Chain A
Amino acid sequence: MKYAIAALLLAPVLAPVLAVADDDPVPSAQPVPAVEPVKTAEPVPESVPAPSPDELAAQIDAIDQDNRKLARENKNQDAKIQELSKLKSLSRYINVFVDVGAFAVGGDGSGIRPDIGHVYFPEYEGRIAGQWVFMGDPLSTAVNSLGEPSDTSTSREIDRDTINSEGRPSVLVNTIGVTISRYIAGGVSVSAFAMLLPRAEDNLLDIQLATISYRPLDDKNLLLEAGKVDSVLGVEYRVQDATRRKGVIPSLICRYTCGRPFGVRAQLTEGRLTTSATLTNGNNFQQIFERDLMLKSNGLPTASGHVQWMLPVGQGLELGVSGAIGPQDGQSELSVRQWHYGFDARLLDFHSFDITAEFVQGKQPGKTESMTECDAAPCLTYKGAYLLIDRYVTPKLIPYVRFDWRSAVHIRGTEFVYESHTFRTTVGAQLEMTSQIIGKLEYTYNRELGGIPQFPDDIVTTSLVVKTD
């Protein structure tokens, strides 16, 4: 086969030479009589003198050299074809995508404002400086699927202002994603997902997933994983990456359910029931802004679980409940336990509609070591929900609307408090130009609740995802 390919590749090159060679009645390896004239297919014009024996010998030498050269090239081509054949199999387990977007966010690009003068939250006066009483949600001005806010302003909790737009519209390479996965043998496979984030101050490499998977049973749909694994909470984590997400930006509660912690994970599907569980180093919070907590150890792992029942409505109505409990991250006392629970529902392809809804609630009780409450570990209470409705108008065009809400209070000693009470409405459309090119455009209206003044932080963002798989 390879010789056939080589022949095809080399045909244009070899054709003239082969033509000459085929016409040559004398094999190049045989000696040519010095005195006999060379017979040609056509009579030699009388005006052209017959070549001398020396000239013929020179021509034969030249042809001989060309043959040797072609033989070498042929050999090289064979080697290249073999290399290409080896590389061709790689495309089966390496996939790449690039997500490019443009965005504009109101105000200074951030989703928080300080309560200067303790006007709106006077209960913190004398305890936390007004500049550090933050109103709003620092991640509510996310502009891409990672949830990166366009600006973090003077946030004290999120010290990595990766985009730092300061309210200016901008174009951004949101993500360069590389997925590697390969089946090894005996039900074992490995996979990894890395993201490259080109940013102004610091190009980031974020290893999102790195798992060894094992399917031990042939007759059961049981999957065991170890490494940096997916969360099991809710449903949004399954579609959080740009290639899978409907829409551009994550919901306000994705930060609690879309993390990819280190640990072990198991998932078993029996008929309509799917059960998932993890034991992980820490919670399931997104960690892109908390790298120092990625390898945290709390002495005991965090246990998380999700149970889902599928009902025969449309293409399936998934109803799920999930929860997590474990020592609070960022401190070493085992008795300080964080907890989380949530409900989720997803209706697939019901009269061309997909509907997804989630509710979560959780608490980190914090730890106090001095006179100031929550000084050793922050206190966090949160609850939130979202409803996403999308419809396949055509197989390629998917308009969608999402309502999401989050109410949370996050305090660390005298350092900061976030009073986050936000309701958002997102409308957008997704156009799948081909199976490998997806365009998205959406507008998000941020509405502050809980007595927080309205400030400009609405978002227009786009995303163009091109992927190889």
Chain B
Amino acid sequence: MRRRLLCLVASWVGGCWTEEPLIHDAFTAEQWAKLQEDYRPPVAPDPCEHLPSAAQDRPYDCEAAARFGQQLFFEPKLSGPWVKPDLGKPETWYPTAQTSCSTCHATTLANAAKDPAWYTDIRAGNAVSQGASNPTPHNTLSLVNVGVALAVDDDGQEVLRKWYGWTGEALNADKAIVDCNTPNDIVNKIALPKAMQSDAEIVGLAINKTPAYLAAYRDVFGQDAPTNAASIQQNVYVALGAYMRRLVSIEAPFDNFIRGKADAMSPSATRGFALFVGKAMCAECHRGSMFTDDDFHVTGVPDATLDKGRGGTGEFYTVTLRNIEKTGPYMHKGTFMNLGEVIDFYSRGGGAWGGYTGHLDPLLQPFELEPEEAEDLQAFLVALTGLAVAPELRVDTHHVPSVPRRVP
């Protein structure tokens, strides 16, 4: 009662009414506890878990598989298409071997000097790659953290993503739509057949014709590469998976912040987090440890090609926001070149410019954002940048045949 009276007297001074102190000037204790639970820092995946089985279920050396996978990741000989030989040459077709995984998913050597840590295509003028709805081009998704689980449940089990790729689907050989529920599906249904225009025979050829890869294959799987191309392809997926699960970048400033270290993020980023889960409502889709609801939405990104997205609905996957600062351009078409443009787009409620397929998700509504608030929000997104991928994993190790020394 005395406190109330004091409040009455001191009302003009202000600050008497704080029934419950707000954490970071924004959250009640219960809200903060839930946010800490929802945004619990992710755990680096066991690099040898959740990999596809090797051919004939043979056991394999996971570490050696990852090294082999790194070589193959940068190896263009895995790609097609088959082409006719020049006139005058033997009448056999051969693969063009121009495209590797790293062509789209790794920085080029030219960009390596700028920022070599991030596996995504940031080459000017080539912001998109051949994607799920081939021939519709999609922005290349980063492979960093592709193996990081969305969450770890109470039993310690990893909760894995249900969907991969912008639409979570691909066309099979019969042009039927099939789901992409594992990274293997993406490689098997999109990356190799579509983006790299390859097939099992080309993959088998690349291994069998390269002594260094034959040796590596033997080290990993304990046997010589079989003549069966399908078996080789299956084991190549194992090696690529073992490598990609090591492409991890977590422990961002935000992770320490959510653990309770208040000064881990700048005041601006802290305010930005309040906006992220509050007024800007980013968290309605970008939620959880990996900042994704693992679902699809129509956000109304303008698209001259009227990309129909998942199942023709205009929906696209909610991508992770971890390392978002490093993975521009943004959206499925690479429409926006920087985060400011993205924030501006969503503050207008998405779809402001029309030119998209489907019905805009009702969660997207315009909201007023002061310029300094937009800066705060951007500061928070930058605070989602984790530690760089280990340097040794960023090295192009694919086999380059030595040029025979010319004998004088």
Residues of A within 8 A of B (CB): 104, 106-107, 114, 116-120, 129-132, 154, 167, 169, 372, 413-415, 443, 445, 453-458, 460
Q: Are B19 and A454 in contact (CB under 8 A)?
A: yes
Question: Can you report 7 A-B residue pairs in the complex whose CB atoms are below 8 A from each other?
Answer: A119-B31, A130-B284, A131-B279, A154-B279, A415-B362, A458-B16, A460-B7
A106-B363 in contact given A443-B8, A445-B4 (Cβ < 8 Å)? no
Q: Are B362 and A117 in contact (CB under 8 A)?
A: no
Q: Are A457 and B28 in contact (CB under 8 A)?
A: no
* Nearest B residue (CB) for A442: B8
Q: Are A117 and B277 in contact (CB under 8 A)?
A: yes
A119-B11 in contact given A106-B18, A131-B279, A455-B20 (Cβ < 8 Å)? no
Q: Does B30 contact A (CB under 8 A)?
A: yes
Q: How far is the CB of A324 from chain B (nearest CB, A)?
A: 32
Q: How far is the CB of A159 from chain B (nearest CB, A)?
A: 11
A116-B7 in contact given A372-B362, A454-B19 (Cβ < 8 Å)? no
Q: Are B20 and A454 in contact (CB under 8 A)?
A: yes
Q: Are A453 and B28 in contact (CB under 8 A)?
A: yes
Q: Which 6 A-B pairs have the closest CB atoms?
A: A106-B17, A456-B17, A454-B19, A460-B11, A414-B362, A117-B34
CA distance A48 to B19 in the complex (A): 95
Chain B residues lying within 8 Å of A445, measured Cβ to Cβ, are 4
Q: How far is the CB of A101 from chain B (nearest CB, A)?
A: 13
Chain B residues lying within 8 Å of A132, measured Cβ to Cβ, are 281
Q: Are B20 and A117 in contact (CB under 8 A)?
A: no
Chain B residues lying within 8 Å of A456, measured Cβ to Cβ, are 17-19
By secondary structure, the B interface counts as: loop
Chain A residues lying within 8 Å of B281, measured Cβ to Cβ, are 129-132
Chain B residues lying within 8 Å of A460, measured Cβ to Cβ, are 7-8, 11-12
Q: Which listed residue, B7, B277, B279, touches A458 by the CB 8 Å rule?
A: B7
Q: Which listed residue, A120, A413, A415, A443, touches B30 by the CB 8 Å rule?
A: A120
CA distance A453 to B18 in the complex (A): 11
CA distance A117 to B7 in the complex (A): 31
Q: Are A106 and B16 in contact (CB under 8 A)?
A: yes
Chain A residues lying within 8 Å of B278, measured Cβ to Cβ, are 114, 116, 131
Q: How far is the CB of A117 from chain B (nearest CB, A)?
A: 4
A104-B14 in contact given A119-B30, A129-B284, A460-B8 (Cβ < 8 Å)? yes
The total of interchain contacts (Cβ-Cβ below 8 angstroms) comes to: 77
Q: Are A130 and B277 in contact (CB under 8 A)?
A: yes
Q: Are A453 and B20 in contact (CB under 8 A)?
A: yes
Q: Are A458 and B17 in contact (CB under 8 A)?
A: yes
- Which residues of chain B (1-32) have a CB below 8 Å from chain A? 4, 7-8, 11-12, 14, 16-20, 22, 26-28, 30-31
Chain B residues lying within 8 Å of A414, measured Cβ to Cβ, are 362-363
Q: Which listed residue, B8, B19, B31, B362, touches A413 by the CB 8 Å rule?
A: B362
Q: How far is the CB of B27 from chain A (nearest CB, A)?
A: 7
Beyond A154-B279, A458-B17, 10 additional pairs, beta carbon < 8 A: A117-B277, A129-B284, A131-B279, A132-B281, A443-B4, A443-B11, A445-B4, A455-B22, A455-B28, A458-B7
CA distance A445 to B11 in the complex (A): 12
Chain A residues lying within 8 Å of B12, measured Cβ to Cβ, are 104, 169, 460
Q: Are B38 and A117 in contact (CB under 8 A)?
A: yes
- Which residues of chain B (109-146) have a CB below 8 Å from chain A? none
Chain B residues lying within 8 Å of A129, measured Cβ to Cβ, are 281, 284, 363
Q: Does B54 contact A (CB under 8 A)?
A: no
What does the 1/0 interface line of B331-375 toward A look like (CB < 8 Å)? 000000000000000000000000000000011010100000000
CA distance A116 to B30 in the complex (A): 10
Q: How far is the CB of A168 from chain B (nearest CB, A)?
A: 8
Chain A residues lying within 8 Å of B31, measured Cβ to Cβ, are 116-117, 119
Chain B residues lying within 8 Å of A457, measured Cβ to Cβ, are 17
CA distance A460 to B17 in the complex (A): 11
Q: Does B321 contact A (CB under 8 A)?
A: no
CA distance A3 to B366 in the complex (A): 71
CA distance A130 to B30 in the complex (A): 14
Q: Does B43 contact A (CB under 8 A)?
A: no
Q: Does B212 contact A (CB under 8 A)?
A: no
Q: Does B35 contact A (CB under 8 A)?
A: yes
Q: Does B283 contact A (CB under 8 A)?
A: yes
CA distance A169 to B12 in the complex (A): 7
Q: How far is the CB of A382 from chain B (nearest CB, A)?
A: 24
* Nearest A residue (CB) for B18: A456
Q: How far is the CB of B379 from chain A (nearest CB, A)?
A: 19
Q: How far is the CB of A330 from chain B (nearest CB, A)?
A: 19
Q: How far is the CB of A154 from chain B (nearest CB, A)?
A: 6
- Which residues of chain B (366-393) have a CB below 8 Å from chain A? 367
CA distance A377 to B277 in the complex (A): 28
Chain A residues lying within 8 Å of B284, measured Cβ to Cβ, are 129-131
Chain B residues lying within 8 Å of A458, measured Cβ to Cβ, are 7, 16-17
CA distance A106 to B279 in the complex (A): 20
Q: How far is the CB of A335 from chain B (nearest CB, A)?
A: 26
Chain B residues lying within 8 Å of A169, measured Cβ to Cβ, are 11-12, 14
Q: Which listed residue, A117, A167, A372, A455, touches B35 by the CB 8 Å rule?
A: A117
* Nearest A residue (CB) for B293: A126
Chain A residues lying within 8 Å of B38, measured Cβ to Cβ, are 117
Chain B residues lying within 8 Å of A413, measured Cβ to Cβ, are 362
Q: How far is the CB of A32 from chain B (nearest CB, A)?
A: 79
Chain A residues lying within 8 Å of B8, measured Cβ to Cβ, are 443, 460
Q: Are A107 and B362 in contact (CB under 8 A)?
A: no
Q: Are B30 and A104 in contact (CB under 8 A)?
A: no
Q: How far is the CB of B282 from chain A (nearest CB, A)?
A: 10
Q: Which listed residue, B17, B30, B35, B367, touches A453 by the CB 8 Å rule?
A: B30
CA distance A413 to B365 in the complex (A): 13
Q: How far is the CB of B351 from chain A (nearest CB, A)?
A: 15
Chain A residues lying within 8 Å of B28, measured Cβ to Cβ, are 119, 453, 455
- Which residues of chain B (251-274) have a CB below 8 Å from chain A? none
* Nearest A residue (CB) for B4: A445
Chain A residues lying within 8 Å of B30, measured Cβ to Cβ, are 119-120, 453
Chain B residues lying within 8 Å of A453, measured Cβ to Cβ, are 20, 28, 30
Q: How far is the CB of A36 from chain B (nearest CB, A)?
A: 85
Chain A residues lying within 8 Å of B363, measured Cβ to Cβ, are 129, 414
* Nearest B residue (CB) for A445: B4
Q: Are A107 and B35 in contact (CB under 8 A)?
A: no
CA distance A114 to B35 in the complex (A): 14
Q: How far is the CB of B112 from chain A (nearest CB, A)?
A: 40
CA distance A292 to B22 in the complex (A): 37
Q: How far is the CB of B257 from chain A (nearest CB, A)?
A: 16
Chain A residues lying within 8 Å of B283, measured Cβ to Cβ, are 116-117, 130
* Nearest B residue (CB) for A443: B8
